[in-house]
Amino acid sequence: MPDSTPAARHSRRATIASFIGTAVEWYDFFIFGTASALVFGTLFFPESGSGTGTLAAFATFWVGFLARPLGGIVFGHVGDRIGRKNVLVITLILMGSATTLIGVLPTYASIGYAAPLLLVLLRALQGIAVGGEWGGAVLMATESTAQGRRGMAGMWVQQGSPAGAILATLVFLVVGRLPDGAFLEWGWRVPFLLSVLLVVIGLVIRLTVHEPAEFRAAREAEPAVRVPLVTLFRTAWPLVVLGIGASALGISAAYFTNTFVVSWATTDLGIARQTMLDILLVIFILQFFWQPVAALVARRVGAVRVMAGALAGNILVAVPMFLLITSRDALLVGVALALSVVTGASYYALLANFLAQAFPVRVRYTGISVSYQLCSTIIGGSTPLVAQWLLISGGGSHWPVVGYYIALLVLTLGCVLALARRTGDDQHPAVAQAALTNP
């Protein structure tokens, strides 16, 4: 029987609000990636060749990741000093506005070079919004939940990623059935315009929650840090560095799959657009249902063991995964991506709480946001761009891409283990906590 105390009810409400709001934001972010793979090269960079146009579209896609640290710094500062709730309302409105405007943006054929420039600007606003969103959503859920259940609460925030991806893929599946002419003319805009409705739903839900109990208790115990970013780098910079590396696969995997692989499969490998979208839908559904399983296992054997085992497993399946994709058989491609998801999602489900508990509460919003979003800029957002460049530079050979993918896995595994050792079994950094007592 569910706990019916006021604290438990608020914990559930905060987790639901974080999940739904995050799903909406990731929907907005993911549809840009899918559109980059399918149409943006043609509509906004038509003077380039097909491969170069795709490269330009992926570069625009990366702009959102370049802007994410700015969102993490600005909104992390506000979130650590003032509170989590209002920041999450602002980021949701900003993301929804930018996404809707992309849906009505004229293409290169209508306004020339102004079209890609405006696309870059709106993509940057998306990046700023999601840069402040993720950390706040994680903290709203985990800081409102009892210590023993925070892993599960953090997992539900991570569920926003496959949920947003499922929704984005479903919408593209519908509009993707249009004739090519209609799809290029107006069909691709529909997913962006639907963002208005989703943002309204997310806002209504987020306005029903209040600040997390742990944050309110910390605020009552001592005043807010004056400049959280300065305090963070003065007292806990090694945690930031390790947090960046520990987040590498968590950010890059989704864009590797639903951006680079989609583009590669539908162009060089000749797999039909609808077939790849069908495969992606099944994969994201698998991720959505698998992540709670990983979180339950982690409650029994420990989060670090599950994360490390999953990453090691992903390294082992990397080469077979690429060989199956190059078979061009839809079923085998689906099996390949399923292998990646089962291993990668087991790590991803636990990443949010793992990072959150690594930082002291007074700089926690800034700490997890800066770590995660710097990783998104340096590693995650560049993944489709680097993979496409390696593919072109290698004369169409996929082996350089395989090496890059395995390197990301090794980096992530090493940093997860190092961060776990530094923060201890309870994931709280004693050194940083002590340093922060006299900021």
**In the prediction, which pLDDT does 48 show?**
59
- Tokens 């604290």 correspond to 7
**In the prediction, which pLDDT does 68 show?**
86
- In eight-state DSSP terms, residue 403 is H
Distance of CA 110 to the CA centre of its chain: 33
Q: Is 290 part of a structural domain of the chain?
A: yes
Q: Residue 47: which pLDDT band, with cuts at 50, 70 and 90?
A: low
Q: Average pLDDT in the 64-86 region?
A: 86
User: 3-class DSSP state for residue 12?
Assistant: helix
**For the domain that residue 348 is a member of, what is the CATH number?**
1.20.1250.20
Tokens standing for 183? Answer: 């799809």
Q: Is 201 part of a structural domain of the chain?
A: yes
> Could you give the number of structural domains in the chain?
1
Closest CA to 373 of 233, 248, 225: 248
Q: Is 276 part of a structural domain of the chain?
A: yes
C-alpha distances in angstroms, 371 versus 82, 144, 388?
20, 22, 25
- Tokens 């980059």 correspond to 36
**In the prediction, which pLDDT does 439 show?**
36
Tokens standing for 206? Answer: 């987020």
Closest CA to 391 of 50, 44, 42: 50
Q: Is 70 part of a structural domain of the chain?
A: yes
Q: Is 218 part of a structural domain of the chain?
A: no
Tokens standing for 274? Answer: 């609808």
Over residues 137-158, the pLDDT tens digits come to: 888 888 888 777 888 888 988 8
Q: Is residue 311 predicted with pLDDT exceeding 60? A: yes
C-alpha distances in angstroms, 174 versus 168, 180, 266, 278, 417?
10, 13, 17, 11, 42
Q: Is 216 part of a structural domain of the chain?
A: no
- Tokens 């001592």 correspond to 222
Instruction: Give me the chain's average pLDDT, please.
Output: 85
Domain ranges, residue 236: 6-209+224-435
**In the prediction, which pLDDT does 320 show?**
94
Q: Is 150 part of a structural domain of the chain?
A: yes
Determine which of 74-78, 209-213, 311-315 has the lowest per-residue pLDDT on average. Answer: 209-213
Query: How would you class 116 by CB atoms within 10 Å of its CB: exposed for 0-12, middle for 13-18, buried for 19 or more?
Result: buried
Q: Is 374 part of a structural domain of the chain?
A: yes
Closest CA to 161 of 354, 368, 22, 292: 22
